[in-house]
Amino acid sequence: MAQKKEGLKGRIAQVLAENRVMNLASEGETNPWCATVFFVEDGFDILCLVEATSQTMANLKRNPRLAFTMNRQVPDRFLQGMGLATTVGPPAEHRELFARMCGKVPELEGFVEAVSGLTIVRIITERLSVSDMAAGVFPRVTLYRRGEEWLTKEEMGPLQRPKAWLLATRPWSFPASIVPILVGGALAHRAGEFGGGLFMLTLVGGLLFHIGANLFNTYFDFRRGVDSSAHSDDRTLVDAILRPREVVMGGLAAFAVGAGIGGFLVWQAGFAILALGGIGLALGLFYTADPLGYKYRALGDLGIFTAFGPLLVLGAYMVQTEKMDLLPFLFAVPLGLTIDAILHANNLRDVQADRRSGALTLAQL
């Protein structure tokens, strides 16, 4: 197996070395787009020049994921791939890197002089498929990126869809919802007002909102390029185990059922719950979703503190008592700060990945 994989890696390197031009396919707001560009390999990653005002660059800003092909204009030995585009900057600001590119493609110097507004783009490759008819490598054989390693399909190992769905919901984060609801319910019980049925509905509704937010987070982190095969712990989308549309629909379903439970709680406990539930739904939905995506605008900490502190503790308390008191708020503040501290620690770990994808978090400030 190891010898076969090394042979495939050698063929991929050969195709990269013998080509200087590739076709890029990107997806915009309405239609896909194809462009032909010079390229230079950097290991298995790819460097190319793209016009800053081109349709390709506009597409990559909206969706950094792309596909590419390279061949000698004869489809007998060629490479197909997928990757994540990141903007490096103008050649004038990266002279050493640009000089390396010109070492393989001397025409780039004249190209930069003739065309204004060019920028260097690095493609972090995630999947490479090689075909070589003369060598008997057909149909294509694919290598998949996992961190800095390249794995065959056999080495990837199967991940069953039920397990993939479970991972996409991020169940290890559920205590962040459960604990505030438990605190709110305990305070209501202390005040002498507690109903087990309403408490369970509150718990299930809160978890459904949390699941919806997690699924949306999985989707939009993938779409924006925060998660990649090289850096992501969540493999459900980067390894194509689940389809992006499935994850979005799963998130919408979780929000819809959670909202239905919320509607029943409003009917039982009064319209004050509607305000809290509406704020919670908005915070969960637009944490990563367009057009706000406030997680990427250094507002994620504020949203997490609000949602997992005052909203959940006060909401669980008010469902039981139908009134607002100071005591649950006093409990909610340190609880919300503690949960936000966990988020902040996670963001500190992901500073480089967030910065590369253009996401701004408090940990970067």
pLDDT tops 90 at residue 306: yes
pTM, to two decimals = 0.76
Q: What is the mean pLDDT of the chain?
A: 89
Looking at 152-156, 168-172, 306-310, which range is the least confident one? 152-156
179: pLDDT strictly greater than 70: yes
Q: How confident is the model at residue 158 (pLDDT cuts 50, 70, 90)?
A: low
Which backbone phi and psi does 82 adopt, to 5 degrees?
-135, 150
Closest C-alpha to 136, from 4, 3, 19: 4
In terms of Cα–Cα distance, which of 97, 90, 86, 82 is closest to 121? 86
Peptide bond into 310 cis (omega under 30): no
Residues of the chain within CATH 1.10.357.140 domain(s) are 161-364
Nearest-angstrom CA–CA distance, 93 and 248: 39
Is 92 a residue whose pLDDT tops 90?
yes
At the fourth CATH level, the homologous superfamily of domain 2-156 is Electron Transport, Fmn-binding Protein; Chain A (2.30.110.10)
Show the tokens assigned to 239: 């390894």
Instruction: Average the pLDDT over 175-198 and give the result.
Output: 94
Residue 312 scores a pLDDT above 90: yes
The CATH number of domain 161-364 is 1.10.357.140: yes
pLDDT for 47-83, tens place per residue? 999 999 999 999 998 889 999 999 877 777 889 999 9
Task: For the chain, report the end-to-end CA distance as a whole number of angstroms.
Answer: 46
Work out the average pLDDT over 192-208: 94
Cβ atoms within 10 A of the Cβ of 88, count? 15
- pLDDT-derived band at 241 (thresholds 50, 70, 90) equals confident
Residue of higher predicted confidence among 241 and 104:
104
Q: Where are the alpha helices (DSSP H) in 19-90?
A: 55-62
What would the two tokens of residue 29 be? Answer: 């707001």
Q: How many alpha carbons lie under 13 Å from residue 55 in its C-beta half-sphere?
A: 13
Residues of the chain with CATH 2.30.110.10: 2-156
Q: What's the pLDDT score for residue 327?
A: 93
Q: What are the CA-CA distances from residue 142 to residues 4, 130, 216 (Å)?
A: 12, 7, 29
For residue 45, give both structure tokens.
């990653």
Rounded to whole angstroms, the Cα distance separating 335 from 310 reads: 9
Compute the chain's Rg from CA coordinates.
25
Pair of tokens at residue 22: 């590739």
Residue 300 clears pLDDT 70, i.e. is over it: yes
Give the model's pLDDT for residue 235: 72
Q: Flag whether pLDDT at 352 surpasses 80.
A: no
